[in-house]
Amino acid sequence: MSVLSDEDSSPLLTVDELAAEAGLTVRTLRYYASMGLVPPAVRRGRVALYGRDHAARLGLVRALQDHGFTMSAIEKAMARIPASAGVEDLAVQRAVLTSWAPAGPEVLDRRQLDDRAGRALDEEQVALLIETGVLERVGRTYSPLPGFEMSIELLDVEVPADGIREAADAIERHMGALTDELTEILRRRVLEPYRAIPRTDEQSDRLEVTMQRLRALTLQAVVSGFQRATNAVISRSLR
């Protein structure tokens, strides 16, 4: 039973129709609603109906799940999106959030973690990996994060654990500042002009692809910039 929205010609869906379109069970849909991941339904008498914005929010939730976000992280991300955000705004959010996320979580038990590391890790080493942000522990499972392989190799270098911690703190501090500045440039130069003009679904999909390419190019630029800065430091020291 679909009816037309008062605002446009888009059909409003029943909970069963929305769940089917989103590829969810009705029970899961109601659970997401209870978490505040989708706004309240539109009421037509005793019938609860849902519009395109509800479907777009559910699409964003599913995309974040596919990219390895935990439900806690998804809840926080969705809470930051204004209730007034339209379908296009949600498409932008999806492009931004998913393009910078890993492809999916790798969940390992303790034995599998040692296999993944290629060595038997002691508890102190595991704690150091967690502390430096390259390993996440949830209950009795572990998920390697970007930088895990490099940190495993670093364990074989004769550097005290405190030195590794200090280096990790310095990287996190400067990368945080760089990320804030790049995000502001992205907002002003890419996202705000995109929002200013109505877009089709096809154009929204192209934005998602563009953001993925931008991610790869940005990572290359950061590495290249660090190499140039390192060369400059070496040159100054030789002089």
pTM over 0.85: no
In whole angstroms, give the CA distance from residue 58 to residue 50: 11
- Tokens 């089917």, residue located: 20
Rounded to 10 deg, the angle between the 26-34 and 15-22 helix axes is 100
Residue 32 — pLDDT band, cuts 50, 70, 90?
very high
Residue 151 identity (one-letter amino acid): S
CATH match of 3-85 with 1.10.1660.10: yes
Residue 100 three-state SS: coil
Q: Are 92 and 207 in contact (CB under 8 A)?
A: yes
Map out the domains of the chain as residue ranges: 3-85, 110-238
Place of tokens 């950061």: 222
**Structure confidence by residue, pLDDT tens digits, 132-176:** 988 989 889 999 988 899 899 989 888 898 998 998 899 888 887
CA dihedral for 54, 59, 60, 66, sign (positive or negative) = positive
**pLDDT digits 0-9 by tens, 59-100:** 899 888 887 777 888 888 888 888 888 887 787 777 777 776
Residue with token string 């030789």: 238
Within 80-200, residue ranges assigned H as helices are 87-99, 110-117, 123-131, 148-154, 161-186, 192-196
Residue 130: band (very low, low, confident or very high) from pLDDT cuts 50, 70, 90:
very high
User: Taking Cα atoms as reference points, which of 131, 79, 81, 129 lies closest to residue 108?
Assistant: 129
Angle formed by the axes of helices 201-238 and 87-99, nearest 10°: 40
Q: At what angle do helices 52-66 and 26-34 cross, to 10 degrees?
A: 90
Using 50, 70 and 90 to split pLDDT, how confident is the model at 104? Answer: low
Which whole number is the average pLDDT over 28-50? 90
